[in-house]
Structure 1
Amino acid sequence: MKNKNIEGIYPLSEAQQGMLFETLSAPKSGIHIEQWHCTLQGNLNPSAFERAWQRVIDRHSILRTGFVWKEQNEPLQVLLQQVKVPLKRQDWQDFSPSVQQQQLETYLNIDRRFGFELSKPPLIRLALFQLGETTHQLVWTYHHILMDGWCLPIVFQEFLSFYQAFSQDQDLHLEPSRPYQDYIMWLRKQDLCQAEIFWSKTLQGFSQPTRLGIPAEFDSCAPPNERYGEKITDLATSTTAALQSIVRQRRLTLNAFLQGLWALLLCRYSGELDVVFGTTVSGRPADLAGVESMIGLFINTLPVRVKVSPDASLWAWLEGIQIYNLELRQFEFSPAGNVHQWSDVPGSLPLYESLLVLENYPVDLSILQSAELSLDISQVCYKGAQTKYAIALLVIPGSELKIQFVWDGYRLERVSAHRILEHFLTLLESIVVNPEQTIAQLLDQIPIAQIPQIKTRRERNQSSAIAWRTPVEEVLAGIWVQVLGLETIGIEDNFFELGGHSLLATQVMSRVRAAFGLELPLRHLFEMPTIAQLAQCIETTARAESPPQPIVPISREQDLPLSFGQQRLWFLDRLEPGTPVYNVPAAIRIAGKLNLVALEQSLNEVVRRHEILRTTFLLKDGQPVQVIPTESCANTPTLKVTLPVTDLQTWPPTEREQEVQRLIIQETGQPFDLEQGPLLRVSLLRLGQTEQVLVFVMHHIVADGWSVGVLIQELATLYEAFSLGKPSPLPELSIQYKDFAVWQRQWLQGEILQSQLAYWKQQLSGTLPVLELSNEKPSAIVQSFQGAKQWFALPKSLTEQLKALSQRESVTLFMTLLAGFNLLLYQYSRQEDILVGSPVANRNRVETEPLIGFFVNTLVLRGNLSGNPSFSALLRRIREMALGAYAHQDLPFEQLVEELLPKRNPSHNPLFQVWFALQNAPMPPLELPSLTLHPLEVDNGTVPFKLALLMWETPEGLAGVFEYQTNRFEAATIARIIEHFKILLHNVVEQPEIGLSVLIQSLELADKEQQRLQAKDLEAANVQRLKKMRQKPIRKHSHS
């Protein structure tokens, strides 16, 4: 679309969004394609014909509209100023009538399947085929996203009026039609609160979609051209007249009557007395002036809930349905997606699977022609859009009631579909013959033995989750089920929409390596987030790649090198011995009667299982090595863990809690000796007979955050078994940490190492900036690790908005929060080049997941904020940068530092000075039989970075903590930083397209407003103080 031809841009209605998604999901399927054709008899004026259609398109903006969705926060409709009517003309006069009919049928089928490219208006096509000298066939095809059936007579009447005028060399001026965008604006102003109350009450207690018959076991065998089946029948004129008479006598609408019949049919089929199906409503609000002549998609599909009472009077029961329809009228605008959310039916299931439609607008457009028209319109045929529901019944009023039944050929066999229509007609004709029969008698008209079989959507999904098309897809499905913790997954489900994030993506790819022996970059899962896409990638890659080197157990008799990560920690410990900065603490409050013997036995079993917890580090021939004691070494006996208990039961409650915190901080702050060990300490603080606190402290060189989860999970499993006198249920580990350390050094060399180094050298090329924040104290000569923390929480609503924004932009929540952190740092530094350190689990091999050890690696994430980007643009930059970092995460940070050789400055860390982490490492639920466990926050008073932001998810929303070095920041400064971070996040979810400079200005405005309010409060306080001083009595003094 050329910008100079754009007249306007505005959002879609929810109905349009649904049609857009369904069209994109099923291209070339003919879904939502409407087609109307007729025969025109008479001397047709080609010029007037084309001009008339052009004038119609010019009058109605929706007919000049296209749709854009790529790289947009939400889909948009783009209105063009000028669009030429797409008219195709062909001369078929040389063909015989039978060939002409064959040609027409072929064209109609191809035209429907061809569909439309939604981004290129007009989404309408006209074809005019000359069959004889005065005979033409007109085919009019359009996409349902433009307009509904109510618009057909409006558009066609306008066409006929213009044609009649133009064919007589006259012009015609009609009253301007109100544009569709006015309706969109009206929709946006509606208050959904009352609608939510109505629908929540109406649908309360309904939790499963109504079954449409007996669940079928057959496989779909419908050929492609029968994806959707259709059968049309006309009710006899006499039967139609009798029905209309009965309905009028009972003061009932035909719509309520038909809905009652459909409810009875579903009741019989499902065996339920409470059924729900869909119905269409015009959706044209009476309070929108001129709505009756507007062109657009107003129609809405909403649920009808009917409770069947077999013993009730048929007509009184039908009257209740009519009252329901009247109550529904004021909520016709309700978005169908919201209605589903307000119900008790899970979002993974449809709210209903059948549709009943009464088409109360003229489908036979020949009735619109006037006596003055030089053309005679006949043989009008209309083919509506294919349904997305399993079954749909469309009823068209007339002297002969026309009933059109449409079904999904993948879920319903033709024989069963025909039977459903027969049963509906049986109910209808039965009432015509005997209007006084009871509901129970009507239900008996359908023999149970004739209830059709239908393959329900839910069962089909479950079937799909088992019967994959290829073995690769089946293996991948098992991996996703395991990692995401879901029961079933479809091959077209999006990994990130199911709750996946970067850490889970790493677990998926590590299992892919183990299962298929392939090295695939993490980027592949972001770019191919469905099982079907990833399976195809794996099958293609497998043909060209050799399997990666496995991690295998090695002998302890040889010198055991440190992993790259361990070596850096060992070096830092030698540089500054006795520092507690690299202690990894954890504390758990335990309520209940604790079995100390079982707990101590469990601890020792964990230490036996994980060699790393018995490991010390010595210098041998100038190189550090791991030393693991064994039973056979007399000088280095196997480590046995004892559990010292500190009794605080006699302390007063307030002082006792203070003492607990003091002891935890004391234990956490006590340094380790890497040469002597042990590098794990466990202690118990007894607070009462059934209350205690368990404290763990490990050195980072033997454990990381993931390891804490492994430790707690194994302790819980072992404690439960040992408390019952049972043996350990845990399988032996296939490898140990030392095996990983050796493998890492063997694998990370040659081409692999050079490829990783080349990426990071390019990524961190040029002068690396040192982040200096405007509110920072002057830097100390030597960095101090003394620190403090300030916690904060984000509302659940903001958390959901951040997740929704992440999904729309195809990024992870981590990437969105990192982009927000970059903006925050820009606010305080005005630096456009920002380096942030961030941890990555680095457990890229499935066999490393159950190990305790130091696997975590540090990535340097370089943010580029140049050019005043919008937040959406910044997210795209962050995504590309982060995916590149993930693909090269195996290079140890230590080697990167050595390679780049940044000039060391004792006042700050090399490469980066700030830290960000979204903590989503797996942490098992703290559950034990007869015990209640709660984690405690542990603060050892040290912070390794100038400023660190750690965040995590809770049921109430995102939570976080800013850790900061106290020699650099005041507490009040950090509090202000937190408020600015919250404001930024609120602003970016509301307006992700605004530029960085505007976002920063919003912070400055917020500060000025805060200062204004503080000044106002201060002034008010001063006024009050002056008033009190004036009111104070003056004491008189005598003079002597």
Structure 2
Amino acid sequence: MNKKDIEAIYPLSPTQQGMLFETLFAPNSGIHLEQSISTLQGNVNVSACEQAWQRIIARHSVLRTGFVWKEQEQPLQVVLRQVAVSLEQQDWREYSLLEQQAQLQAYLQSDRDRGFNLSQPPLMRLALFQTNENTYQLVWTSHHILMDGWCGPLLFQEFLSFYQASSQGQDLHLKAVRPYKDYIAWLKQQDELQVKEFWQKNLKDFTKPTPLGITAERLDDSVNQAKYGEQEIYLNATNTAVLKSLAKSHRLTLNTIVQGIWALLLCRYSNEDDVVFGITVSGRPASLLGIESTIGLFINTLPLRVKLEQQEKLWCWLNNIQSYNLELRQYEHSNAGQVHKCSELPGYLPLYESLLVFENYPVHISALQSADLKINISDSRSIGAQTKYALTFLASVNSELHLKCVYDQRRFDSADVGHILEHFLKLLNRIISDSEVTLQTLLEQIPLEQIPRVRHLQKSVPVTEKQVVQTQRTPVEEVLAGIWTEILGKECIGNNDNFFDLGGHSLLATQVISRLRDAFKIEIPLSYLFESPTIAECAQRIETKIRTGEKLETLPIKPVSRSENLPLSFAQQRLWLLDQLDPGNHTYNEPTGVRLTGLLNITALEQSLNAVVSRHETLRTVFTTVEGQPVQKIQPITDITIPIVDLRVNERSPQQREAQVKRIAIEEAQRLFNLAQGPLLRVMLLQLDETEYVLLLTMHHIISDLWSMAILIRELADFYAAFSQGKSLTLPYLPIQYADFAVWQKKWMQGKVLETQLTYWKQQLQDAPTKLELPTDKPRPLQPTYTGTTQSFQLPKDLSDAVKLLSQREDVTLSMNLLTAYNTLLYYYTKQEDILVGSAIANRNRSEIEGLIGFFVNSLVLRTDLSGNPSFSELLRQTREVTLGAYTHQDLPFEKLVAELQLERDLNYNPLFQVWFAFQNIATPDIQKLTLSLPDLTLSPFETNKQRCPFDLGLLLSEQPEGISGCFEYKTDLFESSTILRMTEQLETLLRCVVTQPDIQLNQLVEKLKESDSQKQLTQEKEYKNTVRQKLMKIKHKSNMNSN
């Protein structure tokens, strides 16, 4: 654009910004494209028609507007001094009526497909098709970002005036209109705090979108292209007249009555008495004189919240709705995104899924007429706002009340939509026939069997084009986007995409915080990402921290001299002490196995193992004492030879060989380590046949954790892929080793850092019980053996999906949701209202240590207060708060906490907690899910049963594509397998209750579990009696035969 051609430049309104993004997000969708089809009757002067439209464009600056966003801090609208619009003309008189209709539909589709380049005004097109001697079809196509439906009648009136003047050779001068930029200036002057307070008050305690009916099923991920259907109904003219009279007598608008009817239907469909749906408002501020004739985009979509008291009188209730509408007028300019933030819904959930549009334009334009031209607006259509909602109702009234429903065909069947419209008419007619009807009576008009069934739409991760998502990015947002892309493994992440919707979870959130610390040199709490889960929101908080000059207090982790005595980390100290107290214990052996299928190059495998051991000092570390204090000692690099056990001899069957492999694996997992002599990594290769091997790897926990085991196997595979092909490999340089981390930890965890962490944990655990009184099947042995086993289970896919959906609605992670269910189950068994559960956290919250093998994992104590008979939803919110607090203070080593609390040591009881909880996301390093393909070789997991359990009871859950799977790990000295099996069944029962009734009270949940147990016991007794009866009948039958 040439500067001399520019008349004005100013920002976009919030609604325009939303439309700009949505258009750029889906440039070929035709979104927000408006088409109006009018029939012109008369001897049309085509030249006068063109001149009239050109005068309109010259008169209204918004019709000369284009939009710029690239390389701009914020998008801008640019008004040109002059813009020409052409009128496309075609003669269709030779076609039949059917052919003309086909031609018109074809043109409309091709016109939609063309779309608009938003940077090139005019963002409107005109086409005129002559269908017979004095009849024309005028198609007016424009982009909704310029103007709303209010403007159409105004422009057509002006068109008729300019056309008549031009065709008569006259020069018409209309009164000047207020430009759209005055509205943008007015927006800047509004009190945002007042707007925020209004919406916070009106949306208080609103925590989930109003259901539109009964959830029927979840749609498959592949069903992602919206397709919309339309149905309509009419209230006859007689009843419409009566309804208008009733509205007038009660000083109500028809809009309010229609809103009330939809609110009633939503209450019936959702079985709730507090509902929210969207409504459209004109958005034209009354304080701006002349604004009613301004052409521009003012319309806004805002939530209407309606609460129902069934005994309340209909007209009083409707008056309350109208009062809300009147109060809303001064807030019609509210930014929809900011309104959402004022609610208590998570950002990824919509405030509402239905929209009610009552078309109440200042001029009715179904027909306009001058001396020589008549205009009939036969049709108007748009692709835009309604496509964001499952249901959109378009209401208009002339002699008849007309209601059209536009619905997402993925979500609703046409029959159900038909019922909805019938219900509308039914309630309207009931009001007309009995104006004193009660709300309760109106609700009862809707049969339960006709409540619509709604398919839940699987949320898919938005994938946008790069130029779209980079729009309006600040430098901080750019850095954040790069970090998210790296951590989440997804390209083109938008500023408003939710981290947790994109697959993020607490473990990945920790890595993001680590990267942010490195990038901005400020300390950022993990809670930031949970509370501000979008790039835009998180960037704002980071920018505030940068402006306030907060500096990073964390010491950098630097290499230290190996000539000095190297201390143990806090976690290592505890394991070392336990080994001194109980040296014959294999509890902290960490075994795993890998099945190798194919042609194995054993020499390359040994070279790979040696390369990994050379790379990680911790694999060459032993633990000795100097002056009574334990120290780390790093052994020199020596070549390791892998012992091979050949199981091909003696012509064993495959089943026998497999059994022997498992026996050897158990023996190897239980073989003790000597921490002072080492090595603390053992490797053994079992050969089953020419192309099948099992590689057993065992490390002591003092040098490893689950994350480390995954690193070991991945690096082993990387080196093998190179060495087996005769190539070399250089992995990314490790600037520090585990010993450097241990030294750093001792220096850092003191002073203010230690004080802050300890203060939190001491306050959190004040007066906490030290033991969980979990009933056991067997008396606790005097000397613990740590002998244990597992009970695996799989939650059904439908239940897994429902639990995930509940997590989204309640703004908690899946892990928090499942932990709450676990706490509830523990309460059922113990009746303790104060429960402590241990949970492991990777504790790799600094980028330097993410690639190291070592013992980093930390234990967090999660305390839950179940007193006061809370609802499950309340427990979820408590778990979220407790978990985020623990994550924020995760740096205090559990061992240091135990020492500071001066707890009495008892080998029979783990300090603070005796039960634990663990959750693994799909993205969590998990060697049991690791499958790698190498040259001539495939690596897959080999399950090793450790047959040990350091805690009384543990619940491990993992998110997999097929659903949520899990296992209870338990001490066989304490529990029978039947008890644990019953726990798995009770957990499923509990989850099925809460996904349908998240507000169920704790005591009610307990009763549900009792009923389930009783029912199961009765079933088992019945089955047992049937079995006994059948056996007795067989015995009797056999006895009778013998006697004969």
Same fold by TM-score greater than 0.5: yes
Alignment partner, residue 490 of structure 1: 494
Per-residue CA shift, 1:687-733, capped at 9, x if unaligned? Answer: 01110001100011111000011111111111111111111131221
Q: Distance in 2 between matches of 1:458 and 1:234?
A: 44
Alpha carbons 2:952, 2:971 under 8 Å: kept = yes
Shift of 1:51: 3.8
Partners in 2 of 1:491 and 1:683 — Cα distance?
Answer: 50
What secondary structure, in the 3-state scheme, does the structure 2 residue paired with 1:753 have?
helix
**Aligned 8 A contact 1:144 1:297 in 2:** no
Counterpart position of 1:571 = 577
Contact 1:785 1:943 (8 Å CA) reproduced: yes
Task: Report the Cα offset of residue 78 of structure 1.
Answer: 3.1
What is the match of residue 853 of structure 1?
A: 854
2:212 paired with 1:13: yes
- Tell me, in whole angstroms, the C-alpha distance in 1 between the residues paired with 2:401 and 2:1002: 40
Structure 1 residue 822, shift from structure 2 partner: 0.4
- Cα deviation, 1:408-450, whole Å, max 9, x if unaligned, reads xxxxxxxxxxxxxxxxxxxxxxxxxxxxxxxxxxxxxxxxxxx
Counterparts in 2 of 1:687 and 1:148: CA distance versus 1, 3 Å: same
Matched, 1:999 2:1002: no
Q: Is the contact made by 2:209 and 2:353 (CA closer than 8 Å) also made in structure 1? A: no
Kept in 2, the 8 Å contact 1:66–1:118? The answer is no
In 1, Cα distance between equivalents of 2:408 and 2:1021 = 54
2:925 maps to 922
Q: CA deviation at 1:578?
A: 2.8
- CA distance change for structure 1 residues 771 and 110 in 2, over 3 Å: closer, same or farther? same
SS in 2 for 1:560: coil
1:151–1:295 CA contact under 8 A, matched in 2: no
Call closer, same or farther: CA 1:238–1:715 in 2, change over 3 Å. Answer: farther
Distance in 1 (alpha carbons) for counterparts of 2:736 and 2:920: 26
CA contact (8 A) 2:514 2:847 kept: yes
Correspondence 1:785 to 2:789:
no
Distance 2:682 2:390 in 1: 68
Contact 1:283/1:332, CA 8 A, preserved across alignment: no
2:633 alignment partner AA: V
Q: Secondary structure at the match of 2:703?
A: coil
Aligned to 2:506: 502
Aligned partners of 1:565 and 1:892 also within 8 Å: yes
Say whether the 8 Å CA contact 1:592–1:930 is kept in structure 2: yes
For residue 796 of structure 1, report the CA deviation from its aligned partner.
2.0
Report the Cα offset of residue 119 of structure 1. 6.7
CA–CA distance in structure 2, aligned partners of residues 939 and 785 of structure 1: 14
Aligned to 2:700: 699
Q: Structure 1 residues 986 and 116, CA, compared in 2 at 3 Å: closer, same or farther? A: closer
- Measure, in 1, the Cα distance between the counterparts of 2:462 and 2:728: 42
Alpha-carbon distance between aligned partners in 2 of 1:918 and 1:144, rounded to the nearest angstrom: 32
2:959 equivalent to 1:960: no
Partner of 2:1019: 1013
CA distance in 1, matches of 2:655, 2:282: 86
Relative to 1, partners in 2 of residues 1:232 and 1:745: Cα closer, same or farther, differing over 3 Å?
A: farther
1:114 and 1:330, CA in 2 relative to 1: closer, same or farther beyond 3 A? closer
CA contact (8 A) 1:145 1:297 kept: no
Q: What letter corresponds to residue 640 of structure 2 in structure 1?
A: V
Q: Distance in 2 between matches of 1:852 and 1:591?
A: 26
For residues 278 and 117 of structure 1, the distance between their equivalents in structure 2, rounded to whole angstroms, comes to 17
Q: Distance in 1 between matches of 2:839 and 2:960?
A: 21
Quick one: structure 1 residues 236 and 643, their matched pair in 2 at CA, closer, same or farther if it must change by over 3 Å? farther
**Separation in 2, partners of 1:649, 1:293:** 91
| Matched residue type, 1:922 | P
User: Which of 282, 297, 300 in structure 1 is aligned with 2:406?
Assistant: 300
Q: Is the 8 A contact 2:708 2:854 kept in 1?
A: yes
**1:763-816 superposed Cα distances (whole Å, 9 cap, x missing partner):** 111142411223442222222211121111112222222211111111111111
- Answer yes or no: is 1:105 the counterpart of 2:105: no
Determine helix, strand or coil for the equivalent of 1:557: coil
1:826-875 per-residue CA deviation (whole Å, 9 max, x = no partner) reads 11101111111111111110010000000001111111111111111101
Which residue in 2 is equivalent to 1:78? Answer: 274
Cross-structure match for 1:647: 646
Where 1:850 maps in the other structure, the secondary structure is coil
Shift of the 738–328 alpha-carbon distance from structure 1 to 2, 3 Å rule, reads closer
Tell me by how many angstroms 1:77 deviates.
6.5
After superposition, the Cα gap between the structure-2 partners of 1:48 and 1:860, relative to the gap in structure 1 and judged at 3 Å, is closer
Deviation at 1:145, TM superposition (A): 8.7
Q: Does the CA-based 8 Å contact 2:681-2:697 persist in structure 1? A: yes
Q: Which residue of 2 aligns with 1:545?
A: 550
Corresponding residue for residue 153 of structure 2: none
Contact preservation (8 Å) 2:354, 2:392: no
Change (3 A) 1:554 1:987: same
* Contact residue 256 and residue 321 of structure 2 kept, 8 A: no
Tell me the alpha carbon deviations over residues 855-914 of structure 1, each in whole angstroms, 9 at most, x when there is no partner: 001111111111111111101001111111111111111111111112233321111111
Q: Which runs of 5+ in 1 are unaligned?
A: 17-45, 81-85, 93-98, 129-142, 158-230, 245-253, 264-276, 285-291, 305-326, 336-360, 362-456, 631-637
CA distance change for structure 1 residues 297 and 698 in 2, over 3 Å: closer, same or farther?
Answer: farther
1:950 aligns with 2:956: yes
Cα deviation, residue 966, structure 1:
1.1
Alignment of 1:294-443 (within 5 A): 299-302=405-408, 330=415, 332=417
1:620-1019 to 2 correspondence within 5 Å?
A: 620-630=626-636, 638-650=637-649, 651-920=652-921, 921-923=924-926, 925-1019=931-1025
C-alpha RMSD of the superposition: 4.8
**Aligned ranges for residues 196-235 of structure 1 at < 5 Å?**
none
Partner secondary structure for residue 602 of structure 1 = helix
Separation of aligned partners in 2, 1:752 and 1:833: 28
> C-alpha separation between the residues in 1 aligned to 2:972 and 2:802?
33
Structure 1 residues 707 and 234: alpha-carbon distance in aligned structure 2, compared to 1, 3 A threshold: farther
Which residue pairs with 1:588 in the alignment? Answer: 594
Q: Which amino acid aligns with 1:821?
A: Y
- TM-aligned CA distance change 1:283 to 1:905, over 3 Å: same
- Pairwise CA distance, 1:14: 8.1
Does residue 1:619 correspond to 2:625, yes or no? yes
Alpha-carbon spacing, 1:122–1:770, altered in 2? closer, same or farther (3 Å): same
Q: CA deviation at 1:150?
A: 8.2
Query: Which residue identity is paired with 2:212?
Result: S
SS in 1 for 2:946: coil
Secondary structure of the equivalent of 1:940? Answer: coil
Counterpart of 1:861, as a letter, is L
- Find the residue that maps to 2:695 and give its secondary structure: strand
Output the amino acid matched with 2:534. T
Deviation at 1:239, TM superposition (A): 11
For 1:412, the equivalent position in structure 2 comes to none
The verdict on how the C-alpha distance between 1:771 and 1:1034 changes in structure 2, with shifts beyond 3 A counting, is same
Matched to 1:893, the amino acid is: F
Q: In 1, are the aligned partners of 2:214 and 2:270 still within 8 Å (CA)?
A: no
What SS does the aligned partner of 1:897 have? helix
Q: 1:427 corresponds to which residue?
A: none
Query: 1:614 and 1:1010, CA in 2 relative to 1: closer, same or farther beyond 3 A?
Result: same
Q: One-letter code of the match for 2:512?
A: V
SS at match of 1:1006: helix
Give the aligned residue type for 1:670: R
| CA pair 279-717 structure 1, distance change in 2 beyond 3 A | closer
Q: Assess, with a 3 A threshold, how the Cα gap between structure 1 residues 240 and 574 changes in structure 2: closer, same or farther.
A: farther
How far, CA to CA, are the matches of 2:607 and 2:749 in structure 1? 39
Selected match of 1:520 from 518, 524, 527: 524
Contact 1:837–1:913 under 8 Å retained in 2: yes
CA distance in 1, matches of 2:270, 2:708: 41
Per-residue CA deviation, residues 94-131 of structure 1 (Å, 9 max, x unaligned), is xxxxx98x26437x989846967657963688899xxx
Report SS of the residue matched to 1:495.
coil
Matched, 1:531 2:551: no
Answer whether contact 2:617 2:737 (CA < 8 A) is retained: yes
Residue matched to 1:32: none
Asked if residue 473 in structure 1 is aligned to residue 672 in structure 2, the reply is no
Could you tell me which amino acid in structure 2 is paired with residue 78 of structure 1? D
Structure 2 CA distance for partners of 1:91 and 1:567, relative to 1, 3 Å? closer
Give the aligned partner of residue 352 of structure 1. none
